[in-house]
Structure formats: C-alpha cells, structure tokens
Amino acid sequence: MLPNAKKWKKKLLKSENKAHKRLSEIEAIYNSAPMGLCVLDCDLRYLRINKSMAEMNGFSPQEHIGKSIHEMVPDLSQQGEAIAKEIFQTGKAVSMEMNGTTAAQDGAVRTWIEGWYPIKDSSHQIVGINVAALEITDIKRANEALKKSEEKLRLTIEGAGVIMWFWNIENDRVECRGHYKHILGPGPIPDMGYNELLSFVHPDDLEKVETAFQKTLQYGEDFKVETRTIWKDKSVHWFSIMGRVVYDLQGKPQEMIGIALDITNNKIVQLELQETLRKLKRSNAELEQFAYVASHDLQEPLRMITSFLQLLKLRYENQLDSDANEFIHFAIDGATRMQEMINDLLTYSRIDRKRGDFKEVKIEDILQQITFEYKLLIQEKNAVIHFGELPVITADYTQMVQLFQNLISNSIKYNDQPCPTIHITAEKQDNDWIFKVADNGIGIDPQQGDRIFKIFQRLHSPDEYEGTGIGLAIVKRIVERHGGRIWYDSQPGKGSNFYFNIPGRLNHEI
C-alpha cells in the first residue's frame, strides 16, 4: 500500500462514519416526524415506514415491512392502487384527499391529505413511491360540525326556536317569548326591566352590551352583539342578540324588538377549529425547521468527503488506473451536486424565515450588479441583456437580487441561440408593478403548467442542463413573500416570458 494511503483511508473512513452518524440522526427524525411517512416498492409493499404512519394504520413499523397496502390498509388500498397507477403512467407526483378506515380505529372513517411521489433511478425509471400523509379527520369533523350547527341555526330561526324579546322603553318592561325558560329556570316568570335583562350578561361583556344599546338608542343603528350569558343554573352560554328601535310619531324611541340565538355550539366548534389550525401551523413550522437543520447538519460531512476525495485525486491520480480515477470523479461530482442541492434547500427554507429587511430598492441597480457579476458568463455565451428605466420598489434587496439572478441565469442557460437575448421591463397596473423577463431560449411546453415552480422539479436531465431544479421554486417563494404572484407564457422553441407582480406598498409587515 502507498505510504500515505493508510492515513488518507483512515481519515476518509472517519468522515464516512461521521456522515453515517448524521444520517442516523436524520433517520431518527424521520421516524419521529409529526406526519406519516413511508416508502413503497412498485408492488406497493412497504420498504420503510415511520412511527406516525404505522400508528395511523394500527400496526407496528416492523409489521408493515414486506407487506402490501392491501394487507395492511385494505379499505384504502383501492384508492392507493389508483394513485400508483397514475404515477406509473405519468411519472408525476399525485396529491389528494383519502378517506377510509384502518385497524387503529376500527370502523371509524378517517381523512388524510396525502402526497405520493415517484422514486426514480438514474435512468429515470420508477423504482418506488414516497408517501407523506397528514391526518385532517378532526378538521373535517369540525367543519362538518360547523355546517351542521349552521343548518340547525337556520332551522331554529325558521321554526321560531329562538328567544324573541320586546323592551318597552317608556315603561321599562321586557317581555320574552320562545325558549327563554331555559335561561330563567323553573318557577314563575319575574317582571323584568332593562337592568334585570342585563343581569344575565356575563360581567366581562357588560360594557360591550351597554355600549351597543346606547348606540342603537342615540343613532338608530341596528342592535347586534355576541355575548356570554349566565343562566339561573350558573351555566355560561353564548348568544347572538339582534334588534332595532321602533319610534313613535314624534320620532321618540318607543320600543326595541329583537331575537336572541343560542350560538354556544358554534362557538365551541369555532374555538376547536382555531386550536386545530394553530396545531397545524406549529407542525408546518416544525417541519420547516427540520428541513433546515437536517440540510445544515449534512454540510460538514459532505465537505469533508469532497475535500478528502479531491486530495486523494490530487496526490494519487497518476498512480491509479483509469477506473479508479473515474470512480473518484463520480464521487466528487455526486457530493458536489448534493452540496448544491443542500445549499439551494437552505436558501429556499430561509426565504420565509426572514423578517423585515424591506426598503426602497432600485431595480436598475440590481440588474447592473447582476450584469457585472455575470460578465464572464455573458461574454462566454455571447448573451445580451436589455433593460431601460425601471421602478424603485419597496422590497427585500437581497431577495430581489436572488430573484433576478435565477431568472436571468435560466434565460442564458436554457438557450440554444447564437446570441441569447433577454429583455426586462416593468409596467404599472393600479398599485402593482408587473415585471416581465423575456428571452429567446428553448421555451417551455405549456402543458407543464405550474410544475416548473415546484421544488426539485426538472424538465431536463442533469446531463442536458446542470442545476438542482429549485431556482424557480425560490423565485416563486420570494414573489409570494412580497405579496405577489408569478406566471409565464411560452412555446417550445419560441422563448419564454416570465411575469411577476410586486404590490406597491410602503409598509411591509412580513
């Protein structure tokens, strides 16, 4: 063995062990992720599954391995087979809502939002399917309960199953009809006036109700308020109370009439739905943080592997045969592309993590900066970038640079003309600026739709055009962070026109 080969081999082994350790940590995060994750082979048998999805199905992770979805979740298998068939036919990911039962809750119909993603080998053949599932059963039930509650409310009003109230302002007497005995409790009905009526209002809502009454009496506004009431049995109920004033011939307030609707069930469902949405937002934030941390922690071992491989090539290239040198080249290239993907993923995850940083930005300055930075590329490709007078907008300067860098570099990269030409213009529409980046490149098939804006989606193989397939996803996310949207029109061989709008706001609270 060569003198220093053992030392380099030892260091390389150490780096590989460190990478394996990181991968083990990521595997642990995968297994404990707050959403269901699994990998299926082409026969829809489980190759890998995390704890969350295993619990959804009602079996342990080990019981799934090697079994088909028909064996583990028979009620969902027909839907899964239909999705898989579409993926195998189109090669595209499928997202949809699935409903059915599992062994975890026998007989209970549950609902999931699922994304099925094809796994392709180096020859672009589908070798498996990645599945991600988020259960939304509680949200569906809450929505259904809310709809039922609203329907009950409508039927209650139609059937007069409400409290109707009349307040004689001059005599200060309140009369109720309908389902008011639930509030007053058993026994004779007491005489009530304005103060007695307010005695049923929750102390924390009293000022709000009195203010609404005063506005109605003084300005003739319709009376409308939602308040908590305390019944005789000390239970608390939410009511929506509406009413209006009846005036005498002299224009003096004579009487108020109205209805009171018990909306307690609606409020409970509303609060439960808000809590469920809060949990969903937290889960999304945790998943975003997971992607950021996992990507960040992979950087160091990848850098070590790349560095040692490059050292190995530098020192022993002349002593190794062509196959060994080719293997080293493939390893370096793969590690480099992985680093590029991780860097792009980190950039993507940081976009929404930024706060503030909005200021006046002169777009012409940004394009001049990019033209200077891309000087060698522009000369090499014989490219021409045209732009005239462009606006000053309120935006995040760094992200605007990223946005135009991605669009311009794509226009140069995906271009087979002797002189790639790019035109950048802007037009004011209402309060928005509409930007247009037009090129004479290879164009895009319109049937691709919004697929080009999805993360890691590529229309061409890496052998044809280098890149990670995340550039336009970054552009879209930056535009959306600025409150705008992005779209395009294109035809193969006829170039592309990309448009995006930036709202003309002076204040940004992002």
If you write DSSP's letter for every residue of 309-328 in order, what string do you get? HHHHHHHHGGGS-HHHHHHH
**Residues 237/231, Cβ–Cβ less than 8 Å:** yes
Lookup: tokens for 297: 């922690």
> Of 135, 153, 173, which closes a domain?
135
Q: What is the mean pLDDT of residues 263-271?
A: 85
What is the pLDDT, as a whole number, of residue 186? 57
Q: Is residue 508 part of a domain?
A: no
pLDDT score of 113 more than 50: yes
**Residues constituting the chain:** 510
Q: Does one domain contain both 325 and 381?
A: no
What is the pLDDT, as a whole number, of residue 86? 95
What is the pLDDT, as a whole number, of residue 508? 41
> How far apart are alpha carbons 277 and 262 in whole angstroms?
25
What is the pLDDT, as a whole number, of residue 5? 66
> Of 86, 110, 135, which closes a domain?
135
Q: Does one domain contain both 100 and 231?
A: no
Q: Which residue has the higher pLDDT, 65 or 196?
A: 65
Helix axes 322-350, 471-481, angle to 10 degrees: 10
Q: Is residue 483 part of a domain?
A: yes
> How far apart are alpha carbons 295 and 10 in whole angstroms?
26
> How far apart are alpha carbons 163 and 255 in whole angstroms?
17
Average pLDDT, the chain: 82
Helix axes 322-350, 264-316, angle to 10 degrees: 150
Q: Does one domain contain both 316 and 252?
A: no
What is the pLDDT, as a whole number, of residue 506? 43
Contacts of 61 (CB under 8 A, 6+ apart): 31, 49, 50, 51, 54
> Tell me, what DSSP letter sits at residue 510?
-
What is the pLDDT, as a whole number, of residue 443? 86
Q: Indicate the number of domains in the chain.
A: 4
Residue 120 has phi, psi (to 5 degrees) of -115, 145
What is the pLDDT, as a whole number, of residue 115? 92
Residue with tokens 């930075």: 373
Q: Distances from the Cα of 423 to the Cαs of 383, 398, 408, 432, 438, in angstroms?
A: 11, 22, 10, 20, 5
pLDDT score of 99 more than 90: yes
> How far apart are alpha carbons 223 and 209 in whole angstroms?
9
> Of 102, 135, 168, which closes a domain?
135
Q: Is residue 510 part of a domain?
A: no
Lookup: tokens for 115: 């994304």
Q: Does one domain contain both 462 and 389?
A: yes
Q: Is residue 68 part of a domain?
A: yes
Q: Distances from the Cα of 163 to the Cαs of 107, 170, 191, 239, 240, in angstroms?
A: 40, 22, 16, 10, 11
Q: Does one domain contain both 441 and 397?
A: yes
435 CB burial (10 A radius; 0-12, 13-18, 19+): buried
Element (H, E) at 95: strand 94-100
Q: Does one domain contain both 221 and 275?
A: no
Q: Does one domain contain both 367 and 496?
A: yes
Domain range for residue 120?
A: 32-135
Q: Does one domain contain both 73 and 45?
A: yes
Residue with tokens 């397939």: 469
For 263, the 3-state DSSP assignment is coil
Q: Does one domain contain both 183 and 228?
A: yes
> How far apart are alpha carbons 440 and 406 in whole angstroms?
16
> How far apart are alpha carbons 440 and 329 in whole angstroms?
35
What is the pLDDT, as a whole number, of residue 259? 84
Counts of helices then strands in the chain (DSSP H, E): 15, 17
221-256 tens-digit pLDDT = 889 999 888 887 888 888 888 999 888 888 888 899
pLDDT score of 187 more than 60: no
Q: Residue 440 corresponds to which amino acid? A: N
**Residues 384/421, Cβ–Cβ less than 8 Å:** yes
CB atoms within 10 A of CB 361: 19
What is the pLDDT, as a whole number, of residue 453? 82
Q: What is the mean pLDDT of residues 368-389?
A: 90
- State the pLDDT confidence band at 296, using cuts at 50, 70 and 90: low
Winning range, highest mean pLDDT, from 7-16, 107-116, 321-330: 107-116
> Which CATH number fits the domain that encloses residue 404?
3.30.565.10
pLDDT score of 391 more than 50: yes
| pLDDT > 90 fraction of the chain, expressed in percent and rounded | 32
**Residues 360/388, Cβ–Cβ less than 8 Å:** no
442, HSE (Cβ side, Cα atoms, 13 Å):
11
Question: For the ranges 45-49, 55-59, 195-199, 210-214, which has the lowest average pLDDT?
Answer: 195-199
Tell me the chain's radius of gyration from C-alpha atoms.
Answer: 33
Q: Is residue 509 part of a domain?
A: no
Question: For the ranges 288-302, 325-339, 378-392, which has the lowest average pLDDT?
Answer: 288-302
> How far apart are alpha carbons 201 and 210 in whole angstroms?
10
> Which CATH number fits the domain that encloses residue 220?
3.30.450.20
| pLDDT > 70 fraction of the chain, expressed in percent and rounded | 77
Q: Does one domain contain both 6 and 116?
A: no
**Residues 238/262, Cβ–Cβ less than 8 Å:** yes
What is the pLDDT, as a whole number, of residue 451? 77
pLDDT score of 7 more than 50: yes
124-149 tens-digit pLDDT = 999 999 999 999 999 888 888 888 88
pLDDT score of 177 more than 80: no
What beta strand segments (E) does 125-268 contain?
Answer: 126-135, 163-168, 173-178, 223-230, 236-247, 253-262
Q: Residue 439 corresponds to which amino acid? A: D
Element (H, E) at 289: helix 264-316
49-96 tens-digit pLDDT = 999 999 999 999 999 999 999 999 999 999 999 999 999 999 999 999
What is the pLDDT, as a whole number, of residue 155? 66
Lookup: tokens for 149: 């509650």
Q: Does one domain contain both 453 and 322?
A: no
